[in-house]
Amino acid sequence: MGREVAQQERTGTSQEAGQEAELRRQVAKLSEINRALMQRVEHSLDMQGNAYQLFQTAILLDQKVRDRTRELEHALKAVEQSNLELSEAIVTSRTAQNRLQDAIDSISEGFAIFDPDDRLVLFNRRFLDFWPRLTDSIRPGLSLGALVRLGLDAGIIQSDGLTPEAWMAERRLQRATTRDGGAQRWVYALADGRWVQVNDRRSTEGGIASIYTDITDVKDAERQEREKALAERSAHLQATLESMSIGVAVFDRDQHLVTANRRYGELLELPAELRRAGASYRRFQEFNDARGAPALGTASPIGPGSARGSGPPAEVALNGRWFEVKGDPMPDGGFVTSYVEITERKLAEEALLDSEQRIRLFANAVPTMISYVDRDQRYRFVNRAYRAGYAPNGTPILGQTLRAVLGETEYGPRRPFIERALAGATVTFDLPLPGAGDEMRFGFATYVPHRNHRDEVVGFFTLIQDITERRRAERILEAANEELERRVHERTATLSRLNEALSAEVEKRRRIARELRVAKTEAERANVSKTKFLADASHDLLQPLNAARLFVATLEDTTLPAEGEALLGKIDHALENVEELLNILLDISKLDAGRVGANLQSVALAPLMEALHDEVAALAQRKGVAFTLLPCSLTVCSDPQLLRRLLQNFLTNAVRYTHAGRILFGARRRGDKVELLVADTGIGIPQERLDEIFEEFRRLDGPEDGPKPEAGQKGYGLGLSIVRRISRLLGTEVKVRSTVGRGSVFSVLVPLTDPATLCAAPQPIAAAVVPGAVDRVRVLVVDNDPAILDGMTRLLRSWGCRVAAAGDKAGMEARIGAEGFRPDIVLADYHLDGGQRGTELISGLRHTLAEDIPAAVITADRSPEVQALVQALSGVSLLTKPIKPARLRALIASARR
């Protein structure tokens, strides 16, 4: 609007000025003509001397001059009027222009108008705020291109990483789009941190009106929102990482740790400096090199020095544990590594491989042809005898089909039996066997179907026995019978009976052979099942014994006749023997089943030997045998519990079989090892039986005329069997030398270690239990076995305790909630019905009552996992079944309030 008014003013002013100049030129011309005429009249003479005529001409010219003068005056008056009107228009235009300038100056945003040539026409003061340091350079007529170039050169505008030419090219393209009729909006940043939004709109005359808005607050809000969202995503990501059971670490492109979950440091046993953000991957490698596990730092397929890109996971061993390591690249050049412990899987694989090797050795050792064929009739396993019969030249069999290996001639007759086996039936039949040359051989085949866990037939086993000799014997026998029949007809009946007897004998032998094979297989299966059963059923085996011991303990606190007390003592002694035998059998089964592992650590011999001496000294003194300890201050590397058990068996046997004389317990240094030995002057062992004594249920009773063990001191022949198993588990060597009638020396070699480098973390020290009165102590008992629950209730009430009994969590909550029972101590069985655990029940009860109530977990499961779970709970003790009443009473007394 202001531009149109100014243009109109300039147009009117130029027209008036032109008219005035034209009139002035005409007036000057007429004045010059008039002057010339007058001069001519005054100074010129008529050639004919006619003065009157010249006078008339002068008068005429004077009249014309006056007429022209009047016209010029009228014109001058018109020009003067036009100038007056023009002045008024100029004043009006300037007033309107000032009002327009005031109006656009009142706008809070920057405002500017550009003509069709993109030159600045009009702008407000706010517009100048967006061009600091260029205020003096901005004037009407300045092009936008020049203005932007000044801003870029002065460093006012940030070009978002583009070159000034590229940035200006984008702006020119946007301006061209605006002139074509569209509205454009563009945003750019200033060097002082502000953000500017420009809205362009085409004017009616083809120019562009632009509004500049400061959107710094909006941009800051967006940035804060993005940062908040990023922080939330980071928190969610960290929480997700912490909830994972695998170790995860994220490294940036410079190989520095960005983040890692807690499991990462726990699995790899890393120091705190390698778990913090910013830790170097190279330092991680150096740490693993120093502890002898360099593969942990190089196993990742995208680590330093490896090709970028994820690959298959690698398996790495560390301190007897196995880890699966996998790396994946990130878009920014970093990488993510994950660590999964696969120790159990590796152990299972090794056990499976060992089992497979044993089966293969057994299968290769028997002369029977054995193979396994899958559902597609392809060989998956063959033993040596089968391979020698059907592939003597070494042709591969595994993976080949039956038809390809046997050929059509042999496959055709077998096909019906194969189809019946794949249908789920066990079939037997006779068949010809491949033989050398023209010799015919015969076999007896058995096809046994193999079913999966869904009872689907997935293949079958083939057993082929060579019965050629039997067939040959049958043919010889038949020929002999025919010959005898031709020669001596009268002896036909006798020969027939003989033939029948021989046939019966052959069949009997075949039956006996089959029964022997079946018996052997069943015996092996029974042995494996026995070991697994005893290892898994420790809880169930000890449950009834625990209940019986509780009932006996209850009876001991009651008044009985003398005969009843004697009988009760015998019952308690018998239960102790049963408990001892069961514990020995369970230990053997756990060792055989691989449930016990060696926890090697530094073991000081002095306290260990002194403790064993204190335990055995009373027994030796009661038998009148001198017991001498030679102390040792060395430190060895072994499992303290297993080593203690091994030496305890040595000492127990020495006391049991030494009736007079002495027992010596000491140690000798043998290079980098220590020989721990127990020497006695007992009955001795014959040389031919030195290996036999390490077998199960092998016991030496001594000479017929020699002294016999006291009642209850006679062993079960299992102690040295446990010693042999423990020594194998520890990787140690057990030695024995003995002379009949003079005594024996049992010893074990254990490696030495430096006492300054103890490898075991300190174990939590259990709170001391002080015996005392237990009357009026409130005890909550939770057990899913009604017999044990009843026995425990009777025992505790006989001691004066207030008892609340429950069989599960629901029963416990009913006693606590409805009856208002507040226990002083909780006795909970570890294995409860419905998959419940005593440790979980105790934690839940403490949370409900908001109090750390003293508690004890009762179990027959002596595994390290259960011990670790109980030790993790503060103020919770572990009682193993069968429970010793004195230990239970002392524990309850310690919880008395």
pLDDT tens for each residue of 142-190: 888 888 888 888 788 877 777 878 877 887 887 878 777 767 788 888 8
Q: Among the ranges 3-12, 216-225, 398-407, 757-766, which has the highest mean pLDDT value?
A: 398-407
The answer to which of 152-166, 377-391, 518-532, 598-612 has the lowest mean pLDDT is 518-532
pLDDT at site 711: 45
pLDDT at site 762: 35
Number of residues written out for the chain:
897
Tell me which of 769 and 544 has the higher pLDDT: 544
- Do β-strands 457-466 and 369-374 pair in parallel, antiparallel, or remain unpaired? antiparallel
Contact 309, 302 (CB under 8 A): yes
Half-sphere exposure of residue 397: CA atoms within 13 angstroms, side-chain side: 24
Contact 803, 793 (CB under 8 A): yes
Beta pairing partners, 256: 280
pLDDT at 454 over 80: yes
pLDDT at site 527: 54
- Cis amide prior to 882 (ω within 30 degrees): yes
* Tokens found for residue 375: 């559902």
Is this structure's pTM higher than 0.75? no
Tell me which of 805 and 564 has the higher pLDDT: 805
* Separation CA 637–CA 722 (nearest Å): 20
* Separation CA 442–CA 466 (nearest Å): 6
* Separation CA 775–CA 720 (nearest Å): 45
* Residue showing tokens 């939770």: 782
* Tokens found for residue 268: 């790899």
Assign 855 a pLDDT band (cuts: 50, 70, 90).
Answer: very high
Q: Which of 666, 652, 656, 675 is nearest to 722 (CA)?
A: 652
Task: Cite the DSSP H helix spans in 278-342.
Answer: 281-290, 295-298
pLDDT at site 715: 52
- What's the rounded mean pLDDT across residues 822-846? 89
The answer to which of 2-16, 413-427, 493-507 has the lowest mean pLDDT is 2-16
pLDDT at 772 over 80: no
- What's the rounded mean pLDDT across residues 226-248? 75
* CA triple 464-388-476, angle to 5 deg: 55
pLDDT at 337 over 60: yes
How many H-runs (helices) and E-runs (strands) does the chain carry?
24, 28
pLDDT at site 416: 92
pLDDT at 8 over 50: no
pLDDT at 875 over 80: yes
CB count, 10 Å around CB of 129?
Answer: 14
* Separation CA 573–CA 364 (nearest Å): 51
* Separation CA 487–CA 483 (nearest Å): 6
pLDDT at site 579: 59
- What's the rounded mean pLDDT across residues 476-496? 77
Q: Among the ranges 457-461, 587-591, 655-659, which has the highest mean pLDDT value?
A: 457-461
| Main-chain phi, psi angles of 389, to 5 degrees | -80, -35
3-state SS assignment for residue 300: coil
Q: Among the ranges 68-77, 523-532, 576-585, 669-678, which has the highest mean pLDDT value?
A: 669-678
CB count, 10 Å around CB of 725?
Answer: 19
Contact 375, 422 (CB under 8 A): yes
pLDDT at site 766: 37
Contact 636, 603 (CB under 8 A): yes
Assign 376 a pLDDT band (cuts: 50, 70, 90).
Answer: very high
Q: Which of 92, 94, 72 is nearest to 19 (CA)?
A: 72
Residues 698-746 pLDDT 10s? 556 555 455 555 544 555 556 677 788 788 878 888 888 888 888 889 9
Mean pLDDT of the chain: 77
Assign 767 a pLDDT band (cuts: 50, 70, 90).
Answer: very low
* Tokens found for residue 379: 């060989």
pLDDT at 530 over 60: no
pLDDT at site 867: 86
- What's the rounded mean pLDDT across residues 821-839? 89
pLDDT at site 426: 93
pLDDT at site 595: 53
pLDDT at site 427: 93
Please name the residues in contact with 256: beta carbons below 8 A apart, sequence gap of 6 or more.
277, 278, 279, 280, 281
pLDDT at site 254: 87
Contact 655, 616 (CB under 8 A): yes
DSSP state of 829: E
The answer to which of 155-159, 421-425, 437-441, 449-453 has the lowest mean pLDDT is 437-441
Residues 388-410 pLDDT 10s? 888 878 788 888 898 888 888 88
Beta pairing partners, 249: 260, 337
CB count, 10 Å around CB of 266?
Answer: 12
Distances (CA, A) of 883 to 305, 552, 856, 876: 60, 11, 12, 16
pLDDT at site 816: 83
Residues 34-86 pLDDT 10s? 677 666 655 554 444 455 666 677 677 777 777 777 877 787 777 777 777 77
- What's the rounded mean pLDDT across residues 834-838? 87
pLDDT at 429 over 70: yes
Exposure string over 449-486, b if 16+ CB within 10 A, otherwise e: bbeeeeeeeebbbbbbbbbbeebeeeeebeeeeeebee
CB count, 10 Å around CB of 846?
Answer: 18
